[in-house]
A and B are shown apart, each in its own frame.
Chain A
Amino acid sequence: MATERAGDVGSVGREALAYADTLHNLAHYLAGNDPDAQDLVQETYARALRSVHQFTPGTNLKAWLCRILRNTFVSEYRRRRGSPVVGGLDTVDPVPDVADHEIDALRKVMADELETALMSLGEDARTVILLDLEGLTEVEVAEVMGCAVGTVKSRLSRARAALRRRIGEAAR
């Protein structure tokens, strides 16, 4: 039994390391800089190792690690920096109209402008956009974000609408 557990730790560890790039990318967009992102990723792996027995084999390890990373960010970094989540994603307002100039701006946006626009959004908006981009399902995103599955779809729609608007505003 002990051998099996040790083997599991080893195999989960090998697979977990394959997600280092994904986690560092998410950490960078949460923390806003590389040194904090590196610390955040290291702390994430340390916590993951401590609680590896809680991981259910066959489930999405990447989603599990993303949840640990986000929880670590919320409990350690965000509190330290005193920057609360910017709310507004759970409103029932419909997704607004799109002006033609917004679509033009999207087509022409450069990489650094896109990054600036994403970083100007609240942490929850950035997180839901990046997790979606990583291919996590709505159920997995809900687990990472600690919200209801039904909330994810509307949060994502509003976060993306906010990002489109920021890109459009920057282009004017």
Chain B
Amino acid sequence: MTCADARDLVLAHARGALAPADDAAVREHLASCPACARVDNAERTLSEVLEQRLPQHPASLALKRRLAAEWPPARRARRSFKRLWLPALAAAAVALVLTPLLYHRLVVVPTRREALVTEAVNDHVRVLLSQRPADAESSDIHQVKPWFGGRLDFAPAVAFGGDAEFPLRGGTVGYFLDRRAAVFLYSRRLHAISLFVVRADGLDWPARPLETASRGFRVIAWRAGELGYALVSDVSAGELRTLAAKVRGEPA
């Protein structure tokens, strides 16, 4: 491997994103080339600096409110009487027929896996939209877990208190379908990760880890005893899997 090849690959190498053969070739080259090893060191340092120190410029609350009010816009609805009312009347008729069925399927017997995944993603989006996602802002699991006392009808069994890779940001109480959920907030670089913990009774919660994706978010759900767990984020599948293993207390 030449220095030029190695330097194009050091970033992917640092992120563990290379195929084993390429990764081994880069590793071997770095061991024998101090100049490329310095590039590797610089790339790792730059990643850390960008993730931790680059100022972020989030949207203001006023802008978010304007955007929410415009989607869907009133003007689109006014464009055509027929285009508005015919679908609306059809929708109302369909709703009249489907409402009891949907109520039974989604609320009374919320057993379908898709409903769990959809709810997990919806709840994660709600967390992202919140101006103050964590009601208990702390990176100390021993402060976050006691905060749930008296706010839930179960004790969320989560031992992972975050680390340099996935720092804990805090916790909050959410609603998952018909019940309360403990929400633990972690992060990875600039990405928010939500861990929902709920009572699993009456839900078709997967006993073995279920990995899926929905609307651009990745979800890993599993059951441990009486509790259901769901991790949701837009980080890579590998990163979410790593966090799931840490939450489950599996050895690295």
Contact residues of A with B, CB < 8 Å?
2-3, 6, 9-11, 13-18, 20-21, 23-25, 28-29, 34, 37-38, 41-42, 45-46, 49, 57-63, 94-95, 97-98, 100, 102-103, 106-107, 109-112, 114-115, 118, 129, 133-135, 153-154, 156-157, 160, 163-164
Contacts and interface: CB of A to CB of B under 8 A. Distances in A.
B234 A103 contact: no
Provide the main secondary structure of the chain A interface: helix
Given A45-B70, A62-B216, A157-B8, A103 B55 contact: no
A24 B59 contact: yes
A9 B95 CA distance: 17
Contacts, number: 155
Q: Point out which of A95, A109, A153, A157 has the most chain B C-beta atoms below 10 A from its C-beta.
A: A95
B190 interface: yes
Contacts of A118: 54
Interface in B61-117: 63-64, 66-68, 70-73, 76, 86-87, 90-91, 94-95
Contacts of A17: 64, 67-68, 71, 129
Nearest to A153: B8
Provide the main secondary structure of the chain B interface: helix
20 contacts: A6-B87, A9-B71, A13-B72, A14-B125, A15-B216, A38-B60, A41-B59, A42-B70, A57-B215, A58-B216, A94-B7, A97-B38, A103-B45, A107-B49, A114-B49, A133-B190, A153-B8, A160-B43, A164-B42, A164-B46
